[in-house]
């Protein structure tokens, strides 16, 4: 198994971590700061500056919009919107992402474990 975590903080900072095993639910929970939920339709991650172009599963805090304290994550929302646009969809003006977001990307073996 080979892949990585691409963490997009609500303040705009990003972090990349290489992984060789499936991240645990507790690890993902800690990163997003709450119960994890899959971001719908976001299944590809393209970050040319990091050399990343891979299938992925993206997680957010399932209660991020309702519990308060989470800020609008502009960078993550723009990336999600670009994936939606490739599929002929859009969330513009209808939905957005808040809080810290984590994309788990990697080979088929890794992604099948999620």
What pLDDT digit, counting tens, does each position of 41-64 carry?
999 998 888 888 899 999 999 999
Asked whether the beta carbons of 37 and 104 are under 8 A apart, the reply is no
pLDDT < 70 positions in the chain: none
Which residues of the chain form beta strands (DSSP E)?
Answer: 3-8, 14-19, 36-38, 44-47, 52-61, 101-106
Q: Are strands 3-8 and 14-19 parallel, antiparallel or unpaired?
A: antiparallel
pTM for the full predicted model: 0.94
């Amino acid at each position: 198994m080979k892949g990585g975590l691409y963490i997009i903080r609500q303040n705009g900072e990003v972090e990349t971590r290489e992984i060789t095993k499936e991240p645990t639910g507790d690890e993902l929970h800690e990163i997003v700061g709450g119960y994890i939920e899959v971001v719908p339709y976001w299944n590809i991650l393209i970050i040319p500056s990091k050399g990343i172009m891979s299938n992925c599963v993206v997680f957010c805090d399932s209660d991020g919009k309702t519990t308060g304290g989470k800020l609008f994550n502009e960078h993550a929302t723009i990336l999600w919107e670009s994936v939606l646009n490739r599929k002929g969809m859009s969330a513009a003006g209808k939905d957005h992402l808040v809080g810290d977001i984590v994309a788990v990307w990697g080979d088929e073996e890794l992604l099948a474990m999620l």
